[in-house]
Amino acid sequence: VDPPELLGLNKFNIDEEEPHILLDKTICETCKEKPCLVVCPAVLYKLGKNGEIMFDYAGCLECGTCRLMCKNKGIIKWEYPRGTFGVSFRSS
């Protein structure tokens, strides 16, 4: 099984009540580089029609890359999902 197929094996238990990642989108609008658009391996950050950041935490691989690469430190509120929520990595 090659790596892209392996990603498709992962299971997600989405916490609909408490997102584990929150953004301050008013600050995101002022960011010129927007590294989140290219660093997220799950491609969860997208650019809207008006240049706004669109983000959905469902499908997050919990790698932490977006928080590390964000130019505006602290505006991505990032925690691991609660309890049994989040990604379960599968290899077969």
Shortest reach from residue 61's CB to ligand SF4, in Å: 4
14 near ligand SF4, rule: CB under 6 A: no
Q: Are 14 and 87 in contact (CB under 8 A)?
A: no
Q: Which residue's entry shows tokens 């008013």?
A: 26
- State which of residues 33, 64, 72, 82 lies at the interface with ligand SF4 (CB under 6 A): 64
Q: What angle do CA 68, 2, 43 make, to 5 degrees?
A: 35
Site membership for ligand SF4, residue 74 (CB under 6 A): no
Near ligand SF4 by CB under 6 A: residue from 9, 13, 18, 41: 41
Stretch in the footprint of ligand SF4 (CB under 6 A) among 11-19, 27-35, 46-54, 57-65 = 57-65
Give the CA dihedral 30, 31, 32, 36, nearest 10 degrees: -140
